[in-house]
Amino acid sequence: MTLRVTSPQFKENARRALADRQLQKALGNVEQNFIEKRRQVAAKLPEFDLLRDAARDLKDHTLAHLDLYLEAYERRVTAAGGQVHWAVTAEEACGVVLDICQRLGARLVTKGKSMISEEIGLNDFLLSHDIAAVETDLGEYIIQLRHEPPSHIIAPAVHLNKEQIEADFRRVHTGFPAERNLEEPTSLLAEARSVLREKFLAADVGITGANFLVAETGTSIIVTNEGNGDLTQTLPKAHIVLASVDKMVPTLEDVSLFLRLLARSATGQEMSVYTTFSTGPRRAGDPDGPGEYHVVILDNGRSAMLGGEFREMLRCIRCGACMNHCPVYHAVGGHAYGWVYPGPMGAVLTPSLVGIDKAGHLPNASMFCGRCEEVCPVRIPLPKLMRHWREREFERHLSPAAMRWGLGLWAAFARRPRLYRFATRIAMKMLSLLSLGFGRFRWLPFARGWTKYRNFPAPEGVTFQAAWKRREKKA
């Protein structure tokens, strides 16, 4: 039921992305917009790095006692008149949502932004049961029109340019005058809003994600910049929250710590425009609110991560800073990663959730430049975790045979210094002679990946160790 995984074709995906001029133009905006804003807003908060330490420690604490917090959370939700549903797999989660929708006779569902919904492939599943799910976050709405998955965890349509979106709107929104002006991004937003307004009013069920679940109060929290989440969850008969187990936070006080980090890391804002707290269904005397309140808590492989070397990944608060700062993401965009979660966080999480045999490229396609770890608000050591995946692959003999063979040969030499010095002395002499005095190679048979795009400098011809020995003898 879940989104098709194209991660095994990462290399082809990447090649296509690199040749896509529209995409490359759009990716330039990622590089321009997010990084500088985050830098400025972080610089204005002297305790930013201390907050990051505190957030890391708090997440670690919560994960260490996750069972207790989840139980406490469920008790609070129940006390507030809501219901918690536990889903081990994506199929189970879809099934729970379908049951609720069918019981209420729902035909139309509105949705706030939820990566869990993408992970479980909810929209297609509901559609196959004649229930239409309409995305109300502008970015999600746009990619839904295009039948595309998101390319970024907080900016799902970041791979598109304004002109492409305008063309989609003209194609789909046939009820509007053809000569209308859609030049400005605000006019696009206004048009989407007027389309969505009817959906909000007509929807039977509203589904949102959750940025945090608060154990102390049984509250779910979403942050948005459009306010679409509020309409999604207050107007229909039922509100369904989709969340994964790692969203748990002990107290409301703790939430304030994460809120200070989240928007700053994500968009460079001090706070998102809307921070919405919901606890249970509408109470007697409330002016509005849903008649039913459900929380579907998804595991989908996460509890298996708790006890292992990828545990730290569960600290992730989905801010997107790691991909915003990733040179590989800037080069190929989110779709190349081939599943729901792109960039450095996806390179660690995707293999955990869909299997390293399918997602093996992702943790390998990294220079380990460390920029992601440098900005992660909860200090996840992303390069180290990617390296752990490479170790798993190596242990399970999943790494390519040519790579293993080359590495084995190299390691055999590197462990025998005398042999190494002898062999390299001869090899470098040969290579230097082969360069015919040009100082570089335009083509080398054993380094074609290199020489396809760059020259290879010719070695001086004498190794340093040999030259140094000579110098010592002379002295």
Partner 1 sequence: MAAATGSRPRVGLFVTCLVDLIRPRIGFAAAKLLEDAGCLVEVPSQTCCGQPAFNSGDRASARAIAEQVIAAFEPYDYVVAPSGSCAGMIRVHYPELFAGDPDWTPRVEAFCRRVHELMSFLVDVIEVERVDVIFDGTVTYHDSCAGLRELGVKTQPRKLLTSVGNLSLAEMKDPDVCCGFGGTFCVKYADISNAIVEKKVVNVVATGAPTLLAGDLGCLMNMAGKLQRMGKTVAVRHVAEVLAGMAQEPAIGEPAKAKRP
Binding-site ranges for partner 1 (CB under 8 A): 11, 14-15, 18, 327-328, 331-332, 364-371, 373-374, 384, 387, 389-395, 399, 403, 407-408, 410-411, 413-415, 417-418, 420-421, 424, 427-428, 437-440, 442, 447-450, 452-460, 462-465, 467-468
Instruction: Provide, rounded to whole angstroms, the least separation between the CB of residue 113 and ligand SF4.
Output: 14
Instruction: Provide, rounded to whole angstroms, the least separation between the CB of residue 337 and partner 1.
Output: 12
Q: Which of 101, 106, 380, 386 binds ligand SF4 (CB under 6 A)?
A: 380
Q: Which of 377, 385, 388, 458 binds ligand SF4 (CB under 6 A)?
A: 377
449 contacts which partner out of ligand SF4, partner 1, none, CB within 5 to 8 A by kind?
Answer: partner 1
Q: Are 158 and 29 in contact (CB under 8 A)?
A: yes
149 vs 377, which CB is nearer to ligand SF4?
377
Instruction: Provide, rounded to whole angstroms, the least separation between the CB of residue 376 and ligand SF4.
Output: 3
Does residue number 30 form part of the binding site for ligand SF4 (CB under 6 A)?
no
- Residue pointed to by tokens 């502008």: 138
Instruction: Provide, rounded to whole angstroms, the least separation between the CB of residue 321 and ligand SF4.
Output: 4
Instruction: Provide, rounded to whole angstroms, the least separation between the CB of residue 314 and partner 1.
Output: 21
281 contacts which partner out of partner 1, ligand SF4, none, CB within 5 to 8 A by kind?
Answer: none
Contact region for ligand SF4 (CB under 6 A) — 140-148, 301-309, 375-383, 417-425? 375-383
Instruction: Provide, rounded to whole angstroms, the least separation between the CB of residue 264 and ligand SF4.
Output: 11
Pairing mode of beta strands 108-111, 205-208? parallel
Backbone dihedral region of 285: left (phi > 0), alpha (psi from -120 to 50 degrees) or beta?
Answer: left
Instruction: Provide, rounded to whole angstroms, the least separation between the CB of residue 388 and partner 1.
Output: 8
37 contacts which partner out of ligand SF4, partner 1, none, CB within 5 to 8 A by kind?
Answer: none
Instruction: Provide, rounded to whole angstroms, the least separation between the CB of residue 42 and partner 1.
Output: 15
Q: Map the footprint of ligand SF4 across residues 343-362, applying CB under 6 A.
A: 345
DSSP 295: E
Q: Map the footprint of ligand SF4 across residues 242-301, applying CB under 6 A.
A: 265
Length of the chain counted residue by residue: 475
> What is the rounded distance in angstroms from the CA atom of residue 28 to the CA atom of residue 24?
6
Q: Which of 56, 170, 282, 318 binds ligand SF4 (CB under 6 A)?
A: 318
Q: Strand pairing partners for 457?
A: 440
169 vs 310, which CB is nearer to ligand SF4?
310
- Cβ burial 421-440 (10 Å sphere, 16+ → b, else e): eeebeeebbebbeebeeeee
For residue 471, give every residue at least 6 positions away whose Cβ sits within 8 Å of its Cβ, in sequence order, or none.
none
Q: 133 by DSSP, 3-state: which?
A: strand
Site size toward ligand SF4 (CB under 6 A) is 13
Q: Which of 188, 245, 259, 316 binds ligand SF4 (CB under 6 A)?
A: 316
**Backbone dihedral angles phi then psi of residue 242, each to the nearest 5 degrees:** -105, 125
Contact region for ligand SF4 (CB under 6 A) — 88-96, 315-323, 406-414, 465-473? 315-323
Long-range contacts of the stretch 45-54 (C-beta < 8 A, 24+)? 45/260, 45/264, 48/261, 48/264, 51/257, 51/260, 51/261, 51/377, 52/261, 52/376, 52/377, 52/378, 52/379, 53/379, 54/257
**Backbone dihedral angles phi then psi of residue 251, each to the nearest 5 degrees:** -130, 165
For residue 397, give every residue at least 6 positions away whose Cβ sits within 8 Å of its Cβ, in sequence order, or none.
404
376 contacts which partner out of ligand SF4, partner 1, none, CB within 5 to 8 A by kind?
Answer: ligand SF4
Contact region for ligand SF4 (CB under 6 A) — 76-84, 183-191, 295-303, 373-381? 373-381
345 contacts which partner out of partner 1, ligand SF4, none, CB within 5 to 8 A by kind?
Answer: ligand SF4
Using a 10 angstrom Cβ sphere, with 0-12 exposed, 13-18 middle and 19 or more buried, the burial of residue 150 is buried
160 vs 375, which CB is nearer to partner 1?
375
Q: Which helix (H) or strand (E) holds 141?
A: helix 138-145
Does residue number 376 form part of the binding site for ligand SF4 (CB under 6 A)?
yes
Count the neighbouring beta carbons within 10 Å of the beta carbon of residue 234.
18
Does residue number 82 form part of the binding site for ligand SF4 (CB under 6 A)?
no
252 vs 331, which CB is nearer to partner 1?
331
User: Mind giving me the DSSP string for 184-249?
Assistant: SHHHHHHHHHHHHHHHHHH-SEEEE--SEEETTTTEEEEEESSSHHHHHHHSSSEEEEEEEGGGEE
48 vs 413, which CB is nearer to partner 1?
413
Residues lying near ligand SF4 in the complex (CB under 6 A)? 265, 316-322, 345, 376-378, 380
